[in-house]
Amino acid sequence: MMARLRKTSAHHIIPRSRGGKKTVEIPDDIHQAWHILFENLYGQEAIDFIHGLNRLFRTRQEVTRDDINALRQRCRNAD
């Protein structure tokens, strides 16, 4: 069976909006999903964000979009 070709796009290792230049080609659908969830977080910031989400989900009955956006901002500004 022949492998299906997938469209790829250039993902900035350090977000372009934060001065990054180096890119890596990744499948376009994965690239889009990354930015929907993590916006322009660095890799370690994304890991911190996932840990923060886990804490929110374990400690709250409801998690709002504002909660998630505030967490993302805290992860972005942690350095």
**Cα separation, 79 vs 73, whole angstroms:** 11
pLDDT of res. 14: 86
The position carrying tokens 């993902």 is 11
| Confidence (pLDDT) at 79 | 64
Domain residue extents for the chain: 8-40, 42-79
Q: Judge whether 23 and 11 are in contact, CB under 8 Å.
A: yes
Q: Express each pLDDT in 14-70 by its tens digit.
A: 888 889 999 999 999 999 999 999 999 999 999 999 999 999 999 999 999 999 999
Tokens representing 55 are: 């804490």
Q: Which two tokens stand for residue 48?
A: 């911190």
Q: Interior CA angle at 72 toward 10 and 21, to 5°?
A: 25
| CA-closest candidate to residue 16, choices 33, 39, 40 | 40
pLDDT at 3 over 90: no
SS3 21: coil
